[in-house]
Amino acid sequence: MPTAHLTIDPAFTIAPVNRRTFGTFVEHMGRCVYTGIYEPGHATADEDGFRKDVLELTRELGVSVVRYPGGNFVSGFRWEDSVGPRAERPRRLDLAWHSVETNEFGLDEFSRWCAKAGVEPMMAINLGTRGVQEALDLLEYANHPGGTALSDLREQHGAAPYGIKLWCLGNELDGPWQVGHKTPTEYGRLAAETARAMRMIDKDLELVACGSSSSRMPLFGTWERDVLRETYEFVEYISCHAYYGNDDGDTASFLASAVNMDHFIDSVVATADHVGAELKSSKKIGISFDEWNVWYGDRSRRTDGPGEAWEVAPRRIEDEYNVTDAVVLGNLLISLLRHSDRVGVACLAQLANVIAPIMTEPGGAAWRQPTFHPFAITSRLAAGQVLRIETDSPLVSTAKYGDVPAVDAVATYDDGQIALFAVNRSSEGPVEVTVDLTRAGVTSLDEAVIVHDDDPLATNSAAHPDRVTAQPFESARLADGKLTITLPAISWTALSLSTN
Ligand code: AHR
């Protein structure tokens, strides 16, 4: 059996674990909101119409921050439509997803839902069809304590100040599919002026400028450089978005998707630091990886197109995930954690039904996709400092990324507790991994779980919601400060150990 060797030393720190790494995303798209998190009349609905089964699963998932209301949707969104008495809220065409938005669920409802879910809200503003004034109005409505037209309006609507710190300055405006698509200079100027004005209301806001909508975009790199040249002094973050799929049947490359994410983050950090050098600035720009996931199907197809009926909350990209997808997702989280020195926010896109870890049926059950498990377990166990691991692993060949290590891992260390997250990206067979923990003074193995199945395509459904779960990982052995684990092909593992 091929062998790999890892060395963990609590002195090899990268940065503190950032709770905002465990964010997700709720967009007015498909059934994420309607019949996802919100369904008055559902057996579990509370007095606000929020599905309590989904609220419970959101808490179990360990979500820290939720981005809202888009996504592509935000580029045509008029926030005023979504507040006030429900009967007076207008129905609008949503051009992003070729559907009808009823505005039955809006900003006040989202703020209440966040409080119930115990998550921090992250608000995206419309810089597609709108500009500085509308952003200021929204900020006043959302956060100002009272005594002005818009803050008093919010009070009349029965809502307390939202206290939102994190704001996205638009969404994917480099994409020609975006309503209000812009050149980097057009967008950079608008984002800078919007940020400058928003800071006049609250200098402590944390603002995210849009990076490229994917590293495959023709302007990738140039877009980040030009946007940051305009916005550097006004923003804390530049966004990254990445979706990975296995549509072409190249499973070896798909399993190595985290190699691409590592490279993507490193490229954007290098570009941001280059602009910082040009500007003679000591400030460092962070990464808000505010959309990431596995996504099957044609990602360039943004709507089902003219000719299709305009419906309320039609089913859109309700991908059914399998064990292989869960292993890839766990590995992408390893990549995000490894970059905790620069990744300040990350949002798994999305939360419910739309490429989501939580699925629901209208009037029916809610269940966990296989991808739910590595996310929930990483969120629960990662704590303290992220540790860099010395890894010596056999390689696997991939068509897209060349030869890559089969075993990839990251660890965290928190006051007597080490958490180790590891994947075997090989589909060929198991790898025996020895982990040298002598410098950590490990005393016991407290928990070991694995996501793996003899059928790497096994999945969950309403009828079989727990076909794929995280299982106790029996093969882990601890002796003389050394841990030995045999990672089966296509597996994700988490272990928790005590130190003296
Ligand atoms: O998450 C689905 C969509 O993917 C978002 O609306 C958009 O920002 C991205 O292209």
CA distance 204 to 245: 38
User: Do 467 and 347 fall within a single domain?
Assistant: no
**Residue 141's closest CA among 124, 155, 130?**
155
Does the active-site annotation cover 172? yes
- Where in 299-365 does DSSP place strands (E)? 311-312, 343-349, 358-360
Tell the burial category of 271 from Cβ atoms under 10 Å away from its Cβ (0-12, 13-18, 19+): buried
User: Do 494 and 370 fall within a single domain?
Assistant: no
For residue 476, what are the domain limits?
Answer: 3-9+386-499
Number of domains present in the structure of the chain: 2
**Measured from the CA of 97, which atom of ligand 1 is nearest?**
6
Predicted local confidence at residue 308, as pLDDT: 82
**How far is the centre of ligand 1, averaged over its atoms, from the C-alpha of 29 (Å)?**
9
User: Do 142 and 270 fall within a single domain?
Assistant: yes
Chain-centroid distance, C-alpha 245: 16
Mean pLDDT lowest for which of 51-65, 286-300, 385-399, 430-444? 286-300
CA distances from 489 to 30, 170, 394, 417 (A): 35, 41, 13, 27
Domain boundary among 328, 347, 381: 381
Residue 73 has pLDDT above 80, yes or no: yes
User: Do 367 and 454 fall within a single domain?
Assistant: no
Band (298; pLDDT cuts 50, 70, 90)? low
Domain boundary among 330, 365, 381: 381
User: Do 319 and 400 fall within a single domain?
Assistant: no
Q: How confident is the model over 82-122, as pLDDT tens digits? A: 999 999 999 999 999 999 999 999 999 999 999 999 999 99
User: Do 204 and 350 fall within a single domain?
Assistant: yes
User: Do 266 and 198 fall within a single domain?
Assistant: yes
Residue 305 has pLDDT above 80, yes or no: no
**How far is the centre of ligand 1, averaged over its atoms, from the C-alpha of 499 (Å)?**
42
Domain boundary among 381, 405, 432: 381
Band (303; pLDDT cuts 50, 70, 90)? low
Residue 307 has pLDDT above 90, yes or no: no
Q: For a pocket test of ligand 1, which of 67, 174, 241 has the largest count of ligand atoms closer than 8 A to its C-beta? A: 241
For a pLDDT cut of 70, what percent of the chain falls above it?
98
**How far is the centre of ligand 1, averaged over its atoms, from the C-alpha of 115 (Å)?**
25
Mean pLDDT lowest for which of 126-140, 305-319, 461-475? 305-319
The arithmetic mean of pLDDT across residues 486-490, rounded, is: 98
Which of the residues 172, 224, 230, 236 is marked catalytic?
172
User: Do 375 and 430 fall within a single domain?
Assistant: no
Band (304; pLDDT cuts 50, 70, 90)? low
Residue 324 has pLDDT above 70, yes or no: yes
**Measured from the CA of 293, which atom of ligand 1 is nearest?**
1
Lining ligand 1 with CB less than 6 A are 27, 29, 70-72, 171-172, 213, 291, 349-350
User: Do 285 and 424 fall within a single domain?
Assistant: no
User: Do 315 and 346 fall within a single domain?
Assistant: yes
- Would you list the DSSP string of 139-198? HHHHH--SSSHHHHHHHHTT-------EEEE-S-TTSTTSTT---HHHHHHHHHHHHHHH
| Strand pairing report for 286-294 and 237-244 | parallel
Residue 66 has pLDDT above 70, yes or no: yes
**Measured from the CA of 172, which atom of ligand 1 is nearest?**
8
Query: Nearest residue CA, atom 7 of ligand 1?
Result: 71
473 in Cβ contact with 449 (< 8 Å):
yes
User: Do 354 and 376 fall within a single domain?
Assistant: yes
Q: For a pocket test of ligand 1, which of 73, 291, 295 has the largest count of ligand atoms closer than 8 A to its C-beta? A: 291
Q: How confident is the model over 345-367, as pLDDT tens digits? A: 999 999 999 999 999 999 999 99
Residue 302 has pLDDT above 90, yes or no: no
Residue 475 has pLDDT above 90, yes or no: no
Mean pLDDT lowest for which of 25-34, 269-278, 478-487? 478-487
Residue 108 structure tokens: 């006040």
CATH number of the domain where residue 238 is located: 3.20.20.80
Band (299; pLDDT cuts 50, 70, 90)? low
User: Do 301 and 407 fall within a single domain?
Assistant: no
